[in-house]
Amino acid sequence: MEKRTKVNVKILGTDYSFLTDATDTAQIEETIKHLETVVSETKKNNPYISNYLAMILSCLNLSEERLELEQTIALLEQKLEEIKQGIYPEVGLTPAHPAQPEEEMVVEAENFQKIELYENEINRLSEEVNRANAIIAGYKTRLSESRGEYEKMKKEYTQMEERLLESQIEVIKLRKKLIE
């Protein structure tokens, strides 16, 4: 069983802590910094919304970013597959000429370099998607916590309304006794 790491963060002035399977503290810090930036930017662009709504809007924005990245990765993977099959002429891949082995080696080396570049880009985008997933997981956790806090506050508000109504009834009864 992997060791879970406890992480403490402060977002929009509120402290949060959660457990993560990630062991790379630099990645966790980078993810949290990105999250704080996105949420702060959302709040800055919408100063009159609650922190809860700012978190939800940020989740939506990050989800959209993630979907766009996934689409880009899928496109790059498709292009890489086409390159490997030799059916993607736009990148300048040409078939080797069997009669010219030296030229064949040069062309194959160039093709290999282009494939490596695409693979590196796919890896980079995959890492971005993983970071986005980590941020989204944090948002989901915060969203659940916020919902719990909201329900608790709603219940307390209802109880306070009931106590106020009971107090008002009691005041009316006392006034009636005083009048009689």
Question: Helices 51-85 and 101-179, interaxial angle, to 10°?
Answer: 160
Q: Are 79 and 118 in contact (CB under 8 A)?
A: yes
**Nearest alpha carbon to residue 23 among 52, 37, 3, 38:** 3
Amino acid at 36: E
Amino acid at 38: V
Q: What percent of the chain has pLDDT over 90?
A: 7
Rounded to whole angstroms, the Cα distance separating 168 from 86 reads 83
Domain ranges of the chain: 5-179
Please report the pLDDT score of residue 96 as a whole number.
47
Lowest mean pLDDT segment, chosen from 31-45, 53-67, 80-94: 80-94
In tens, the pLDDT along 146-180 reads 888 888 888 999 999 999 999 999 999 888 888 87
Rounded to whole angstroms, the Cα distance separating 112 from 86 reads 12
Handedness of CA 122, 22, 17, 10 (dihedral sign): negative
Asked if residue 39 has pLDDT above 50, the reply is: yes
HSE-CB of 178 using CA atoms within 13 angstroms: 6
Q: How large is the average pLDDT for residues 98-107?
A: 57
